[in-house]
Structure 1
């Protein structure tokens, strides 16, 4: 009897080093396909203790079990972030990036997420790990926050995979002892477990290990062939964060003498299970020295590499507001800080004709937006009316951010650190509801956006100021401010006298709101940031947000209208 890690990376067709004491070996799963592509790792199986025989059996044979998003305490525990990469899974972790297992190879030229296909442009392989990150051309509407702490052991986890399910029963003297692995059906499933240990492996880094226990959780889960690249999420104070990428399973397996037999049966707990190289099955009894379990590559141990690819900080601001004349135009400001020898590549868009609400064109939208880009002195750098008439047309298309209507505007440029302003107006003095967007498209960590802001006329109903932001930073705080009265000091008239600020997550759930910033529960923190608004009637929200998409809404208290300013500061 030996302990094997089943399914892993077969680099250059060589066997990895023996692992877990001297009697341990690793096992690769090879799926013979027409393309001769290797397919590794493991499919999910679910268990529950149903007999007092120290054997974990499966709770159900229903192939539909755990194939839809979990609910109750496990709602929003990671299922919503999974997409498909060929026959396997991947997880978006940034506006343009998803992560999966390196040993899968290149499964496809596209990644499918929430029913849409994203074209793959580039890949990045983690040094000394089984991780691989892919860059796509389009922007993901949502992506998973990362767990980057070092205290995973003991934390509740959910695990998601797309591998094989329960197969035929295995009997001994007419008594059911377990089930063989079934065939792969390509259906996404989830289960739960707990992080039991952090296990280092030479040449592959650290792994999260979860034991398959007889006294496990309601949906106690193991993995099987086909689950590689799936995700492990852990509960971090009520927020589920991506902590690992499925890699391998192991256990006290029985095989034939030369160790070449295929593993064909499910794993039970350490008191007994079946393994068959060929009929008849052989029963392994007695206590094994270690339990069976599964391994996921630990993301927190690879933080530096992940951030070098995806980049920290804020990636985008998009502001929807009523675009009026003169001082009531919509203005976005952004500050870039970092290495003065590097350029930050940014795309700006002025959107109007394509604006919709629930698939219906937005009433009162700006029909012909015009975009200007200015430096800190107010000097004009670029301008554009219709993006297809721009000499940058092909660069804009290559960025994956080309507007969908020819009347909309776009500018792409590389910027040194400094302060810049994008201004959205209507061509020929037209007015209407428009969307001004500023995107960081190079995703490098240095230089980075440290401040994003939008100034616009704040009205009622559809004419409130709505700012969307993509946050990439982990464990960083962001200060949101809504200003109005203090803008009069800049010579503006008709300012918003009493702004009210709301912050929502990507699902529209209200996270926080504030009318007058001195009333904020963390008022002292806001003061300590040195960025408290200059007028007590103005609003502020200081919050530690996990990476993701957020929406800030500025409206006037009691229906007031006027020129308002929405600001976002990334704090150290």
Structure 2
């Protein structure tokens, strides 16, 4: 491979996207799962929260530094394609002495997150609550290793962390002094505690002896707290609302009095009026049953005093979870052995206390099977998403709508294999799907993630970016990239012709003023653009570029860009120089649709001039997904000459590079590979609908199976030859 190609290849990579942004993508199987850390030491299941654009923030306890600092806290941000955005292996949030654990993550807005954890740095086995704010780049914004939330010198435990809905953090914890007391603090983005030095003691006056509590936001910057008072006989359920300013909206309200309220968790969900739904488990001496109650924003009990029994069936019902719907009601999900085998059931309750589904609830899936360890979240469309373990088959998820209809088939979506995961945590993906955080036992006890789309399908591998860097001349030397959208329907794409900005990245002779035109399958021009910042859709171009991870174009640059929704068919992006200008340009096509879109980029065919030095042709592409993908890549020169293209490249050489700029596959004269390989390549050629090449031609072809990542394909002429070449990339079905 000559030196000029190597130099140009590196320039292409640095100009398009930093190499560190391509890591791993959403997997199918847990043994291929997205691992947040690379160490083979025990870590916790990741606590996860959606980033609002289909991705996720994850935090976990990590033993990689156990020899020096004990267990620490790490964090990572993954985008909608499962690509790690922060430091490989995760950002170190806290590496203070002794043990840190119980990590929680809360969205702070603008790509920032709060991380909260229990910390033993002052004294082993004596915990304190600490927090840190990470900005969109994963950089700590407060004191290194975090700030104290609760200042008292008592053991603090059982932390709960949520957002207030307006960018502030709400944290509750228990303290063991003479009695067990519980506090909640509101913290803003500067790290300032807004509810007094020690927070608001929400159990004051009625709580001594309790240790089970929970929080939900009240929708106006405050919080509703719920707890069980174990010191009472019978045990009592309480609720209290603290307003945004830190004052109580009402005194603690006792509304559930039961002989044996059980459990180490009190499930809650907001009711949409500043109040909350609360649930609990009761041992009645024969079976354990589940009860719920609602308290509104004023402290009133709209359903009357006492509680509502959720289930009247044999067996021990437990592991209750509550999820708010979009109309003031709630879904209730629990483990239930009524048939003699554990199963997961669901019920819906309205704001007036009426159960919407069949009496005693409906099973989450059919046919009957052993299901347990249910978790539930809203699906952003008025329904719920429920994850659960099933038999020895692994982890599943089901999505149900407001009427209880199962949307992901009768038996749900299969997420992980058996024996590989435990301790799941679930969050929405912002697109009516979900992301599951688990601990992968088969991967050295590493935290791992799994995404399921709104359709119930798992993400599959695909091309999300195809591009060509080439010389743009005049006449027959113009750059003419074509691309095919496969599937049914339409696809939103970002198409860019970058010229002058390449000069900022070391390209000596960039195209000074590219003009970009999109053509349909009939070669009819449908859109054109000169100077990307001069049109009416600048904001759309900027936001789409941010979503797909494209590098920034300077304001006022003469690069061209178009965002358009195109039909699933063949299209062409013609690039010329304004006033017959010439130079090197980068033509990019980005898939701007969600992962579950029914259409995909399946082909890139760029007719370009291949010269020497900076004028070699460099196609690039990015593969994301859970598995490998097979691609047919061709550099066609001599066959063009036979079909009437004057000045075609006589003998192209095709070389494929990975994200580290390492060549790993190359071909010169495709027919020289032997009969067996020629037959395989010919079969792939027919499968993708490409025209056939004579076995004696000097065209070049590579048939490769590639893992997710970023790749480039360098095309040069043998012995320094130049000419017109058709560079093609096909996804092989």
- Provide the TM-score with structure 1 as the length reference: 0.54
1:534 and 2:693 matched: yes
- Describe the shift of the 1:392–1:513 C-alpha distance in structure 2 as closer, same or farther (beyond 3 A): same
Instruction: State how 1:452-491 maps to structure 2 within 5 Å.
Output: 452-473=604-625, 474-491=627-644
Partner of residue 109, structure 1: 110
How many Å apart are 1:403 and its aligned residue? 3.2
- Output the CA distance in 1 between the equivalents of 2:417 and 2:447: 5
Alpha carbons 2:468, 2:617 under 8 Å: kept: yes
1:89 pairs with one of 76, 84, 88: 76
Partner of residue 486, structure 2: 337
Secondary structure of 2:523 counterpart = coil
Partner of residue 592, structure 2: 441
Q: How many pairs does the alignment contain?
A: 368
Partner of residue 390, structure 1: 535
Alpha carbons 2:46, 2:60 under 8 Å: kept: no
Partner of residue 564, structure 1: 725
- Output the CA distance in 2 between the equivalents of 1:562 and 1:27: 56
- Output the CA distance in 2 between the equivalents of 1:66 and 1:544: 38
Alpha carbons 2:105, 2:116 under 8 Å: kept: no
Superposition RMSD in Å: 4.6
1:318 pairs with one of 467, 487, 499: 467
Partner of residue 380, structure 1: 525
Partner of residue 403, structure 1: 553
Secondary structure of 2:107 counterpart = coil
Alpha carbons 2:484, 2:601 under 8 Å: kept: yes
Alpha carbons 2:104, 2:116 under 8 Å: kept: no
- Describe the shift of the 1:470–1:27 C-alpha distance in structure 2 as closer, same or farther (beyond 3 A): closer
1:424 and 2:575 matched: yes
Partner of residue 363, structure 1: 508
- Provide the TM-score with structure 2 as the length reference: 0.43
- Output the CA distance in 2 between the equivalents of 1:435 and 1:407: 13
- Output the CA distance in 2 between the equivalents of 1:489 and 1:394: 46
1:202 and 2:374 matched: yes
- Describe the shift of the 1:360–1:544 C-alpha distance in structure 2 as closer, same or farther (beyond 3 A): closer
Alpha carbons 2:633, 2:728 under 8 Å: kept: yes
Secondary structure of 1:94 counterpart = coil
- Output the CA distance in 2 between the equivalents of 1:439 and 1:102: 36
Instruction: State how 1:535-554 maps to structure 2 within 5 Å.
Output: 535=694, 536-554=697-715
Instruction: State how 1:88-167 maps to structure 2 within 5 Å.
Output: 88-92=75-79, 94=81, 104-110=105-111
Where relative contact order (Cα < 8 A, 6+ residues apart) is larger, the structure is 1
Alpha carbons 1:482, 1:566 under 8 Å: kept: yes
How many Å apart are 1:343 and its aligned residue? 1.9
How many Å apart are 1:361 and its aligned residue? 3.9
- Output the CA distance in 2 between the equivalents of 1:249 and 1:480: 36
1:353 and 2:500 matched: yes
Secondary structure of 1:507 counterpart = coil
- Describe the shift of the 1:523–1:309 C-alpha distance in structure 2 as closer, same or farther (beyond 3 A): same
Q: Runs of 4 or more off by more than 6 Å in structure 1?
A: 26-29, 95-103, 161-166, 179-188, 207-211
Alpha carbons 1:208, 1:298 under 8 Å: kept: no
How many Å apart are 1:463 and its aligned residue? 0.9
- Give unpaired runs (5+ residues) of structure 2: 1-43, 48-56, 91-101, 139-370, 376-386, 389-394, 396-415, 427-434
- Output the CA distance in 1 between the equivalents of 2:701 and 2:45: 55
- Output the CA distance in 1 between the equivalents of 2:612 and 2:669: 19
- Give unpaired runs (5+ residues) of structure 1: 1-25, 30-38, 48-57, 68-86, 113-160, 171-178, 189-198, 212-221, 230-243, 251-292
Partner of residue 192, structure 1: none
How many Å apart are 1:458 and its aligned residue? 0.2
- Output the CA distance in 2 between the equivalents of 1:182 and 1:517: 66
Secondary structure of 2:500 counterpart = coil
1:43 and 2:61 matched: yes
- Output the CA distance in 1 between the equivalents of 2:127 and 2:461: 42
Cα-to-partner distance string for 1:397-422 (whole Å, 9 max, x where unaligned)? 33236732531111221111111100
